Amino acid sequence: MRIATTIFLTDETVTPVRLARELEQRGFAGLYLPEHTHIPVSRRTPYPAGGDLPREYGRTLDPFVALGQAAAVTERIGLGTGITLVAQHDPVDLAKQVATLDHLSDGRFTLGVGYGWNVEEAADHGVEWSARRELARDRMALMRALWSAEPTAYEGEFGSVQASFAFPKPVQAPRGPVVGPRTLIGGGAGPKLFAAIAEHADGWLPIGGRGLTESVPKLRAAWEGAGRDPKGLQVVPYAVLPDPGKLAHYAELGIEEVVLQLPPAGEREVLRVLDGYAAYL
C-alpha cells in the first residue's frame, strides 16, 4: 500500500520545500494539500468536525503554488490537492494551472475535487450554494474540453469555451470519459457523489475512511453500472490517523493508497510525526 500524506501548510508551518524533500527521502508516496482562499470572520457555517474552526483554515497556502515548489525539488512523489474547490475557480484559469503543474511534474499530479462546506467562503466567489455541485460538474466538463487532444468547444449551463489551442496538456492519456490528470472526488458517501465519480473521475477521496465496508460495494455498483472498467476504480482514504488494523482493513477492501494526516506544525513536530509513520511504509 502506498502511504501518502496531507497537511495544512500555512505561513506558520514547515515549508513545502522542506516537507517534500523529507517525504521523498523517507519513501512516502505523496503530498496532498487542501484549499481555502479565505475564511470570512462573520461566518455562520459550523465547522464539520465540531467546535471552533482551527486556526490553520484561515492561513492555508495556495496549494498550486506550494505544490509547484514541491515539484521542483522532487522527482518521484505524487502531488495532489485534497481538495480543490472547483466551483470557486475560473475554469479556464484552473485548467491552465492544473495542466501546467502536471506537465512540470511529469504527470505526478492528482486533482482532488470537492464541493466545499463553508457557505460564506463560497458566497464571496459568487457561488450559489444550492447549485455548487452542478457548477463544479459543469466546470470540470469545460476543463476536460481544454485538456482534450484536439481543440474542443464546450457549452454548459454555467460557462462555455470556444474550441481553442490550450497547451500544455496533462500527461495521462484519457481513461474512458475522463480526460486530464488523475481525478478523485471527495465527499460523503451517497448516490449523487457516486454517480459523479462514475461519470467523470478516477475514484473517491473519502475523508477519514469510516464506513468503507458498506460504501465501497455501492460505489463499485455505480461505477460498473456506468460502464467503467472495474479494475480502474480507485478509493483513497484521506486525512487518516493510522493504526495497523485500519490499514490492514483497507488492504482487504483492495485499497492501494492511503493519505495520512500530518499536524499543521513547524518542522520539528512534523518530522517527529513522520518518524512515527515510518512504521507503515
Question: Measured in Å, how far apart are the chain's first and last C-alpha atoms?
Answer: 8
CB 235 within 8 A of CB 206: yes
Residue 75: all three cell numbers together: 522527482
Closest Cα to residue 235, out of 268, 277, 197?
A: 197
For CA atoms 63, 215, 177, 131, give the dihedral sign: negative
Q: Which three cell numbers stand for residue 187?
A: 465527499
Q: What is the dihedral of CA 118, 79, 135, 220, to 10 degrees?
A: -100
Phi, psi dihedrals of residue 57, rounded to the nearest 5°: -60, -35
Angstrom distance (rounded) from CA 104 to CA 11: 24
Scanning the chain, the segments in alpha helix (DSSP H) are 16-26, 63-72, 91-104, 119-124, 132-147, 191-200, 212-225, 244-252, 267-277
Q: What is the pTM of this model?
A: 0.97
Cβ contact 133:196 at 8 Å:
yes
SS3 230: helix
Q: Give the model's pLDDT for residue 43.
A: 84
Q: Which of 133, 101, 106 is nearest to 200 (CA)?
A: 133
Return averaged pLDDT per consecutive 10 residues of the chain, 281 residues in all: 98 98 98 98 91 96 98 98 98 98 98 97 98 98 98 98 98 95 97 97 94 97 97 97 95 97 98 98 96
Instruction: Reduce the DSSP state of residue 130 to 3 states and report it.
Output: helix
Task: Please give the distance of CA 166 from its chain centroid, rounded to a whole number.
Answer: 23
pLDDT recorded at residue 209:
85
13, 266 Cβ separation under 8 angstroms = yes
Amino acid identity at 234: Q
Number of other residues whose CB lies within 10 A of the CB of residue 166: 18
- State which amino acid sits at residue 251: A
The label of the residue with cell 467523470 reads 200
Place of cell 455548487: 132
Q: What is the reported pLDDT for 276?
A: 98
Nearest by Cα to 4 from 23, 25, 19: 23
